[in-house]
C-alpha cells in the first residue's frame, strides 16, 4: 500500500510513503513527472521494494504550466519550452530544489545518513532530482534519472558542489521518447561524464517512449540493491 495523509500546513497531500518492513537503514525519494502524482510511481516500485528501505513519493503542487497553455497541473516548476536551448523557470527550479533538500533533511532526522539516501525521478522529477543532487552539499547514496534531462545546464559548472561529484548515477532513456527525445538523454549523459568523476551509467531501451518498461525497472532494482545494501544501524 502507498499510504499518505494530508498536511495540516497547506491541506495538500503529503508524500505517498511505503515504510520499511525491516530495520529502516536507507531511504529513497522519487519525484514523479509533469501532471502525475507520487502514487503512480509508488505502484511501479511495488514489485522491486526492499524491506530495509523507506520509499517516499512526493506530490508536486498544482501550478500553471506554460507549455500546456497555462493549465494548472501537478508540476515541480514551470516548463517554458522543451527545447534544450529554450528558456527555463530558474526561480521555480531553485525553489523546488530547496523543497527536495528539506525532504533529505527529514530523512536524516529519522536517523538515516544522507549517504544512505537515493534521490531519483522521472522526466521533470528526474530533472529536479539531478539539479538538487548536483547543487546541494550533502553526499547521497545515488541518483536515478528516468527519461529526463539536465535543467539550467549552462549554470551547472558554476554551482556544482563537491559533495556528489563521485555519487553514482543511473540514467535510463527510451530511444522512441517523443517528449524528452533520446538525443537530449544522450547530451545529458555526455555532460554528466564531463562534469563528474564518479560512476555515470547510461542505459537505453529500444522502442520505449516517454514511459517505463520491465527491463528498466530491473535495472533500477539492481542499482538500488547495489548502492543501498542492507546493514544494521550502529
Strand (E) or helix (H) holding 169: strand 169-174
Q: With beta carbons less than 8 A apart as the criterion, state whether 141 and 118 touch.
A: yes
Residue 138: count other Cβ atoms within 10 Å of its Cβ.
17
Q: Which of 75, 114, 123, 148 is catalytic?
A: 123
With H, G, I as helix, E, B as strand and everything else as coil, classify residue 54.
strand
27 has catalytic annotation: no
| Residue 62 appears among annotated catalytic residues | no
For residues 117, 92, 131, 115, the Cα torsion angle rounded to the nearest 10 degrees is: -20
**Measured distance CA(133)–CA(129) in Å, rounded:** 6
Question: Cell 563528474 identifies what position?
Answer: 196
- Choosing from 59, 114, 148, 177, the catalytic residue is 177
32 is catalytic: no
Question: Which of 63, 106, 204, 210 does the annotation list as catalytic?
Answer: 210
Would you name the residues annotated as active-site residues? Answer: 123, 177, 210
Amino acid at each position: 500500500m502507498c499510504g499518505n495523509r494530508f498536511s495540516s500546513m497547506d491541506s495538500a497531500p503529503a508524500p505517498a510513503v511505503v515504510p520499511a518492513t525491516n530495520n529502516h537503514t536507507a531511504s529513497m525519494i522519487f519525484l514523479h513527472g509533469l501532471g502525475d502524482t507520487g502514487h503512480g510511481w509508488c505502484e511501479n516500485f511495488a514489485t522491486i521494494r526492499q524491506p530495509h528501505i523507506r520509499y517516499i513519493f512526493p506530490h508536486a503542487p498544482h501550478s500553471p504550466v506554460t507549455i500546456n497553455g497555462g493549465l494548472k497541473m501537478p508540476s515541480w516548476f514551470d516548463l517554458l519550452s522543451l527545447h534544450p536551448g529554450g528558456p527555463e523557470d530558474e526561480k521555480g527550479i531553485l525553489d523546488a530544489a530547496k523543497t527536495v533538500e528539506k525532504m533529505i533533511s527529514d530523512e536524516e532526522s529519522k536517523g538515516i545518513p544522507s549517504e544512505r539516501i537515493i534521490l531519483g525521478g522521472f522526466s521533470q522529477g528526474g530533472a529536479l532530482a539531478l539539479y538538487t543532487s548536483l547543487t546541494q552539499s550533502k553526499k547521497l547514496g545515488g541518483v536515478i534519472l528516468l527519461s529526463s534531462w539536465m535543467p539550467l545546464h549552462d549554470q551547472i559548472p558554476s554551482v556544482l558542489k563537491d559533495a556528489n561529484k563521485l555519487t553514482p548515477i543511473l540514467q535510463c532513456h527510451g530511444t522512441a521518447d517523443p517528449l524528452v527525445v533520446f538525443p537530449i538523454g544522450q547530451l545529458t549523459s555526455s555532460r554528466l561524464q564531463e562534469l563528474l568523476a564518479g560512476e555515470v551509467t547510461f542505459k537505453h531501451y529500444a522502442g520505449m517512449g516517454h514511459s517505463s518498461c520491465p527491463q528498466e525497472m530491473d535495472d533500477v532494482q539492481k542499482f538500488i540493491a547495489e548502492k543501498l545494501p542492507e546493514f544494521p544501524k550502529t
